[in-house]
Structure 1
Amino acid sequence: MGPWSGPWPDDPRFDPELLAGGDRRNVVDRYRYWRREAIVADLDTRRHDFHVAVENWQHDFNIGTVVRTANAFLAREVHIVGRRRWNRRGAMVTDRYQHIRYHPGIEDLLGYAAEAGLTLVGIDNLPGSVPLESVSLPRRSLLLFGQEGPGLSQPARRAASLVCSIAQYGSTRSINAGVASGIAMHAWIRQHAAPAAGPAGGAPAEAGSPAAPAVST
């Protein structure tokens, strides 16, 4: 979107710099020209009841994808267990709009889950796991993912109230952790969330919102 054409909206959610210079961010039309803080505040009124956690013991490059997907499905929070440093490139700047909480270890994550009333659900193709395709996920779930390759750590496996597997039909032993997170989050969405509405899958546009403003060329 280029610079705003016509009288500027009298609304504090709009960013004067974006109105003047244009908005080239990766956001749905509903949020064009909005301040970042205003976008986060609006998302906070609509976030879903599930959380996402990912282990980061070896600088997992999939975390950016997990964060981006959590933003797309409007997770309440993303929890990173282990190292605080991770490659943000895959997040495509969505980490600016998604709440992220860090935990030094599984024990700290468990304490948070208990206090928040969340059920820890591990996602990994382990012996004895329950097929994700047939399980009813708790509404207040904390979906936990391990790293690419080793999967869930032993402490994470012991801590999970439920471990779900994702059906695979080819020759590979595992799928990308970022892909697995998207499948699991969408499984929760199908069970608990209302269908998305509005342009580009966002919330319904409000009267006077900049869903399709006139843009100077």
Structure 2
Amino acid sequence: MKRLSLLTLLILTVSCAKQPALTVKTNIKGLKKGTVYLKKVKDTALITVDSIQINGNAEFELHSDLESPEVFYLFLNKNTNEDDAIAFFADKGITEINTTLKNFVFDAKIKGSVQQAKWEEYQKMISKLNSRNLDLIKEKFEAQMESDTSKISAIDNEYNGLLKRKYLFTVNFAINNKDSEVSPYLALTEIYNARINFLDTINNSLTPKVKASKYGKQLQDFIDEIKEADKNN
């Protein structure tokens, strides 16, 4: 009887063990050896929350605690540049990432949270503006090499108009998705240097749930800091 009680206690202990809030199931086609890191931003620094050494098996899992939806980064080996990482918006549960070793970032297919789907929707719609922005940078450089002041002025005007369109589009997108944690995230990362009334408009539109999220709290703090700084100037 005593042995049965101990066994029962052991089973209960194991079953009650804390399960990770986030599981990232990953398959990197072509990867034989290497180290994969799961990272996120904490206090403005990029930290590693989990990692795994790969030796022959390209399918694996990474895990993390998670209080509210936020952006994570999947790094291969010791890359420290976010441009070389797969960024994804995760919520509690399972996120699946399938990609290739050859085109680690560009081949990434991500299936998981509703926030990820909403973020991809924004990225798809804003990509044309970003692409034109890159074209303008190239055109301005060429105009400067030729000392073509009239062309430089025209490019600057188009750039300013493009920037305004991006801000307005992002504000409208955030307001229309006030019930998604993607909304305050976009305010903090895409238009953080916009006029304070734009940020206020987004912040005031957020649902209570989103306001209480990680990015909702950060947006409120960011706005409070700006207003406080303006009062002291």
TM band (smaller chain)? under 0.3
* Structure number with larger C-alpha Rg: 2
Q: What TM-score comes out, normalization by structure 2 length?
A: 0.21
- Of Structure 1 and Structure 2, the greater strand share is in 2
Q: Please state which structure has a larger fraction of its residues in helix.
A: 2
